[in-house]
Structure 1
Amino acid sequence: MLMNMMILNFTLTIIFLFLKHPMSMGSVLLMQTILVSLIMGNLSFNYYYSYILFIIMVGGLMILFLYMTSIASNEPFSKNFLLLIPFSLLLFQFMTNKNLFNFFINNEEMLKMENFKEFNYILSKFINLPSSLIMLFLFIYLFLTLIAIVKITSLKNGPLRQLN
């Protein structure tokens, strides 16, 4: 299951390179965020960090969605089905023949319990004393940025268009 999610994430990355419309790029980015959060949750023992990543990315995507709909609200959405055919064939080939993707990622190496323990040890270093001050500074910085963005985008004189 983990391998299929990684293959799908790789395919979405390639598709993202060929997209031109902001709404389609946002939808692919949302799908990639969900997949990366699920992969992170499967690789660690808890889903805490993947949940935080998902919440932050969805919050940013909501702001981008609001901004793009106010700037390019009537832009036509063009579908290119000829681009979809090679990528669907590539995805089908990767899903049926997993030996093609094994040279990218060694599946046995990822699934060992020693790697899980080492991964959790690395994550616990973020909470220890030297790094905790940096994380506290980052939280305060993000909170102040959130307050500044709320003040900038007030309904009376903000850069966003008012919705009637």
Structure 2
Amino acid sequence: MKKMLIIASILVSMMFMQINHPLAMGLILLMQTVIMCLISGLMVQTFWFSYVLFLIFLGGMLVLFIYVTSLASNEMFNLSTKMMMTSMVLTTFMTTMMMSMPQNNMDLTNQEMIMNNENILLLMKLYNGSSSLITILLASYLFLTLIAVVKITNISKGPLRQMY
């Protein structure tokens, strides 16, 4: 599964270099983010870090999407046949390479049990008694920062595109 996601990441990165429309670049960047979050979730065996990473990237993508649509709202979006053919050839090439690779015969159950125990210990260290004060302080600081940003923002100069 990890091999397929890494190959998909490489293909999406190659497609990103051939695209010139800003909205298509944003879509490719979102696909790359989802793939990277899946890879990091599979490597650590807990997906909480991947969820946080995805939400941060999604917030940044929202700002990027609003900015791009205000600048390039009337450009036409068309698909390049050259890019589609290149991606299809690369996909079949990478898939055949992946199928021809030998598989590891390691005992995965013992390895998975060790990783699960390590992850449980890491989560217990994050929320134990001595570090719970730091976690509560960080959440309070972020909440107060959110309130300050909302109060400082000028409502009349908020959106980039004026609503009529």
**How far has the Cα of 1:100 moved from its partner?**
7.4
Q: Which runs of 5+ in 1 are unaligned?
A: none
Q: Are residues 24 and 159 of structure 1, via their aligned partners in 2, closer, same or farther at CA, if it must alter by over 3 Å? A: same
The one-letter code sitting in structure 2 at the alignment partner of 1:57 is F
State the match for 1:48 in structure 2: 48
Q: Cα gap change, 1:58/1:142 in structure 2, threshold over 3 Å: closer, same or farther? A: farther
| TM-score under structure 2 length normalisation | 0.70
Taking a change above 3 Å as real, the CA distance of residues 116 and 91 of structure 1, as seen in their structure-2 partners, is farther
Gaps of 5+ in 2: none
1: distance between equivalents of 2:147 and 2:12? 30
**Equivalent residue number for residue 8 of structure 1:** 8
Given that 2:46 and 2:119 are in contact with CA atoms closer than 8 Å, whether structure 1 keeps it comes out as: no
Q: Which runs of 4+ in 1 moved over 3 A?
A: 99-102, 106-109, 111-117, 126-129, 139-152
CA RMSD, Structure 1 to Structure 2 (Å): 3.8
C-alpha change, 1:155 and 1:92, in structure 2 (3 Å) is: farther
Q: CA deviation at 1:70?
A: 1.2
Q: What does residue range 19-58 of structure 1 map to in structure 2 within 5 Å?
A: 19-58=19-58
- Equivalences for residues 1-164 of structure 1 within 5 A: 1-98=1-98, 113=112, 116=115, 120=119, 144=145, 148=149, 151-152=152-153, 154-158=154-158, 160-164=160-164
TM-score, scaled to structure 1 = 0.70
Higher deviation after alignment, 79-88 or 143-152: 143-152
Query: Percentage identity across aligned positions?
Result: 29
Quote the offset at 1:97 in angstroms: 2.4
Number of residue equivalences: 158
CA shift, 1:83, in A, is 1.8
Give the drift of 1:52: 0.1
Is the alpha carbon distance of 1:115 and 1:25 closer, same or farther for their aligned partners in structure 2, counting shifts above 3 Å?
farther
Q: 1:81–1:155: structure 2 CA closer, same or farther, 3 Å change rule?
A: farther
